[in-house]
Structure 1
Amino acid sequence: MKKIALAYSGGLDTSVILTWLKETYGVPVVAFVADVGQNEDLAAVHEKALATGATEVVIADVREAFVRDYVFPALSAHAVYEGAYLLGTSLARPVIAKALVAAARSTGCDAVAHGATGKGNDQVRFELTVAALAPDLRVIAPWREWSFVGRSDLLAYAERHGIPVPVTAEKPYSMDANAMHISYEGGVLEDPWQPPPAGMFLWTTDPEQAPDEPALVDITFEAGVPVAIDGEALSPFRLLERANALGARHGIGRVDIVENRFIGLKSRGVYETPGATILMLAHRAVESLTLDREVAHFKETLAPKFAELVYNGFWFAPEMELLRATLAHTQRNVTGTARLKLYKGAAQVVGRKSPVGLYDAEAVSFETRTQVAPSDAGGFIAVQALRLRQAGRLSA
């Protein structure tokens, strides 16, 4: 091993890991930081990495790629894990790991390291991505190698080695933020009977305190991709940023669930996903006008599989490539605009239109007889009833 690229955040874990890697393996360490819209002071993170002993610091702005290539395909797939989780953390891991591999290549590293624990999903997501994109790179997972058990061990190590540690009160839970969501888990949240602590939510307004007047928002899609809000065209990241602001103001997107981790444990997670919640609802509304019935029904059977693959870390697996291509094919004509009403934690579709929609107002009107005559329905029903009549005679 010549050099290690570490996925670095500047927090306690990765600061200790940086020093531990140098001490344990005796090679230079490159600190890699991905900007996925977490709103951190990246200049301060850069300086801290150098002060902690990094040979080099690489910061990659992957915000647009994250939203364009990961978040939007998941939204158009209606990917929701176990009925509630919109996969904010799960979607960020492959884009971070891909950028980590690129940083390792550009800086001459032959190994990568991460700070994911041995109990969670992130270790799987990082390492499966590296395996798919750079099978020659060695992966180091310190939490599976060292003897440290918890935060007190890390703090003692940091003190012994002069590693700067922020002097702040420890939160009673852990957090992870990106352009799509904020997640909260661990600590006091590990009791699934206890509600989230007062004041925990950093992004969304408490629905009870949200504005008393509803807001209307128009979201426009082209080929399944959101491209404009209220008529203003925006880049993927900026569009999600705008949707986040709208949703957060009106208390939309809070989720509190107990989910099944890939490794077999159950975990309580609390999430804020304001913008993506709005965009997925709007996308469903435009699809309702533009997708053929059988295509729409078949597509919905694929959504749970898509969500499961994302959650379990298989973004770059062959089956995911096939699934994404299939879903992309369904989106060719998903073009139009949905109008949503946002009010005190709820988003409701109140209008939808499409220049290429399959909806025919004249055909479905009770006042016309175009395309289908009422008498035709009798024969259709009679044919559909044949097997039911047969079954009914046998059970009579």
Structure 2
Amino acid sequence: MSKDKIVLAYSGGLDTSITIPWLKENYDADIIAVCVDVGQKEDWEAVEKKAIASGASKFYNPHVADVLAEEYIYPAISSNLKYQGTYLLGTALARPLIAKELVAVAHKEGATAICHGCTGKGNDQVRFETGIAAFDPEMKIVAPWRIWDIKSREDALKYAELKGVPVTSTIEKIYSEDENLMHISHEGGDIESPKNAVDYSSILNITNALENTPDEAEIVEITFEQGKATAVNGEELKPHEVLETLNAIAGKHGIGVLDWIEDRTIGMKSRGIYETPGATLLMEAHERLESLTLTKETIKLKQHLAVEFAELIYNGQWYSMASDSILAFMNHTQKTVTGDVKLKLYKGNMLPHGLKSEFALFDEDVSGFGEDDLFDHHDAEGYINVITLPTKIQKKLGLL
């Protein structure tokens, strides 16, 4: 009789490395490790060898960074999504795609369950399990952090040593890090307490600390077609190439570092340090282009819906009727968001350096102080009489 199969969302980090021997101890099942390539820089051959050596019977490595860029990150950029007005959702955007790939492997292998290494206090358990449910609501979930005796990352390190599992984390550098094409997050250790100042130069991986940035500014030009970046400095690039290129350019100038206290889905506040250089630059350029090509009312609606959309994605609801509906609106607004944006980068700053579009709503004659054919200065008097009428009535009644 063949064994059951459990698909493990595997990263090769501390949590998932110790999960393989733990699963084998507690389940009579073959463990299939799935490490989804969403743009993180890894020696994939070494990751596979480690998974097999740790006890996995098979290893899958779907390469979907281009899908992440085109179908998840780009829609987030064109929607100007920032959770709580700040966080660009780097982790949250990758989770639904990883969940989709996990289910695909589970179906291919006939697995009975999917296992993840998310903690019981984190957001990702919600995102993974909601994403999995969207493709297979009957799939069983194994979440070791919610049931095993390991209570901390220090315990996890001791368990790894006991089982002979090699890990890169140490007591001194016990940070939990997540990397994909869009960003790198850092949590844990001395980062956890808001009271602690941290040495960014010792933590950041793809972004220079400000003191290490160049002393000369750099001009970058980004070309958009219907809200999607298609070229950098005149060179046509695919979405994932745009992000890779801008990560290097923006990272050099210290752009896109966020040290932030966020409200987790689970309810508590937590501190994290995020590096999102390329996407930060891309969103800044995109918002500037929209200021030129969208009407005031459209921008207002987008800003309102972006708050709701960002929260949906943060809470794991990428695959939902609400998200689909908002995205349909966002996509419709991008028909005229075409043009070129130049920004000057210097010491973490992104300064405007020129903006043009064939769909520009800015009219030099109308916006200037001189006469034009569309607006008569006397028209303003009637408008002011109408707009001040409520104020005058309130004053007459003694309400002001």
Distance 2:337 2:141 in 1: 41
Distance 2:157 2:188 in 1: 19
Question: Is the CA contact (8 Å cut-off) linking 2:157 and 2:170 kept in structure 1?
Answer: no
Question: Is the CA contact (8 Å cut-off) linking 1:260 and 1:266 kept in structure 2?
Answer: yes
Other structure's SS at 2:243 match: helix
Distance 2:56 2:302 in 1: 47
Percent of aligned positions with the same letter in both sequences? 48
Matched with 1:98 is 100
Distance 2:45 2:236 in 1: 30
- Structure 2 residue corresponding to 1:174, chosen from 176, 180, 196: 176
Q: Say yes or no: does 1:351 pair with 2:380.
A: no
Question: Is the CA contact (8 Å cut-off) linking 1:192 and 1:268 kept in structure 2?
Answer: yes
**How many Å apart are 1:155 and its aligned residue?**
4.0
Question: Is the CA contact (8 Å cut-off) linking 1:8 and 1:14 kept in structure 2?
Answer: yes
Matched with 1:215 is 218
Question: Is the CA contact (8 Å cut-off) linking 2:14 and 2:169 kept in structure 1?
Answer: no
Other structure's SS at 2:397 match: helix
**How many Å apart are 1:160 and its aligned residue?**
4.4
Other structure's SS at 2:32 match: strand
Question: Is the CA contact (8 Å cut-off) linking 1:204 and 1:251 kept in structure 2?
Answer: yes
Question: Is the CA contact (8 Å cut-off) linking 2:338 and 2:358 kept in structure 1?
Answer: yes
The correspondence of residues 218-237 of structure 1 with structure 2, limited to 5 A, is 218-237=221-240
**How many Å apart are 1:168 and its aligned residue?**
6.0
CA RMSD of the aligned region, Å? 1.7
Cα distance 1:159–1:345, how it changes in 2: closer, same or farther (>3 A)?
Answer: closer
**Partner amino acid, structure 2, of 1:360:** D
Distance 1:139 1:73 in 2: 29
Provide, for residues 37-62 of structure 1, a one-character-per-residue CA deviation record: whole Å limited to 9, x for no partner.
11011111111111122121110111
Q: Say yes or no: does 1:340 pair with 2:340.
A: no
- Structure 2 residue corresponding to 1:287, chosen from 286, 290, 310: 290
Cα distance 1:169–1:147, how it changes in 2: closer, same or farther (>3 A)?
Answer: closer
Q: Say yes or no: does 1:195 pair with 2:197.
A: yes
Distance 2:347 2:106 in 1: 46
Which ranges in structure 1 are unaligned for 5 or more consecutive residues?
A: none
Distance 2:22 2:137 in 1: 24
Matched with 1:141 is 143
Matched with 1:53 is 55
**How many Å apart are 1:18 and its aligned residue?**
1.4
- Structure 1 residue corresponding to 2:6, chosen from 4, 7, 31: 4
**Partner amino acid, structure 2, of 1:251:** G
Which ranges in structure 2 are unaligned for 5 or more consecutive residues?
A: none
**How many Å apart are 1:231 and its aligned residue?**
1.0
Q: Say yes or no: does 1:271 pair with 2:306.
A: no
Q: Say yes or no: does 1:33 pair with 2:35.
A: yes
Distance 2:282 2:158 in 1: 45
Distance 1:233 1:205 in 2: 26
Other structure's SS at 2:110 match: coil
Question: Is the CA contact (8 Å cut-off) linking 1:183 and 1:272 kept in structure 2?
Answer: yes
Distance 1:168 1:162 in 2: 15
Provide, for residues 351-376 of structure 1, a one-character-per-residue CA deviation record: whole Å limited to 9, x for no partner.
11111222222222222322011111
The correspondence of residues 144-155 of structure 1 with structure 2, limited to 5 A, is 144-155=146-157
Question: Is the CA contact (8 Å cut-off) linking 2:6 and 2:29 kept in structure 1?
Answer: yes
Cα distance 1:168–1:184, how it changes in 2: closer, same or farther (>3 A)?
Answer: closer
Matched with 1:262 is 265
Q: Say yes or no: does 1:245 pair with 2:248.
A: yes
**Partner amino acid, structure 1, of 2:247:** N
Distance 2:87 2:300 in 1: 21
The correspondence of residues 100-119 of structure 1 with structure 2, limited to 5 A, is 100-119=102-121
Other structure's SS at 1:199 match: helix
Structure 1-normalised TM-score?
A: 0.96
Question: Is the CA contact (8 Å cut-off) linking 2:153 and 2:174 kept in structure 1?
Answer: no
**How many Å apart are 1:106 and its aligned residue?**
1.7
Question: Is the CA contact (8 Å cut-off) linking 1:224 and 1:335 kept in structure 2?
Answer: yes
**Partner amino acid, structure 2, of 1:14:** T
Matched with 1:42 is 44
Distance 1:353 1:127 in 2: 44
Structure 2-normalised TM-score?
A: 0.95
Question: Is the CA contact (8 Å cut-off) linking 2:154 and 2:171 kept in structure 1?
Answer: no
Distance 1:115 1:232 in 2: 40
Provide, for residues 153-211 of structure 1, a one-character-per-residue CA deviation record: whole Å limited to 9, x for no partner.
43444444443445867414222111111111111012202112352212211223311
**Partner amino acid, structure 2, of 1:248:** G
Question: Is the CA contact (8 Å cut-off) linking 1:253 and 1:274 kept in structure 2?
Answer: yes
Between 149-158 and 55-64, the greater mean CA deviation after superposition: 149-158
Matched with 1:311 is 314
Distance 1:327 1:141 in 2: 35
Cα distance 1:182–1:165, how it changes in 2: closer, same or farther (>3 A)?
Answer: closer
Distance 2:157 2:353 in 1: 53
Number of residue pairs the alignment of both structures matches: 396
Between 375-384 and 12-21, the greater mean CA deviation after superposition: 12-21
Question: Is the CA contact (8 Å cut-off) linking 1:80 and 1:304 kept in structure 2?
Answer: yes
Other structure's SS at 1:95 match: helix
Q: Which 4+ residue blocks in structure 1 deviate beyond 3 angstroms?
A: 151-170
- Structure 2 residue corresponding to 1:300, chosen from 293, 299, 303: 303
Q: Say yes or no: does 1:322 pair with 2:341.
A: no
Question: Is the CA contact (8 Å cut-off) linking 2:8 and 2:34 kept in structure 1?
Answer: yes
Distance 1:167 1:387 in 2: 65
**How many Å apart are 1:111 and its aligned residue?**
1.3
**Partner amino acid, structure 1, of 2:388:** A
Cα distance 1:85–1:394, how it changes in 2: closer, same or farther (>3 A)?
Answer: same
**How many Å apart are 1:152 and its aligned residue?**
4.4
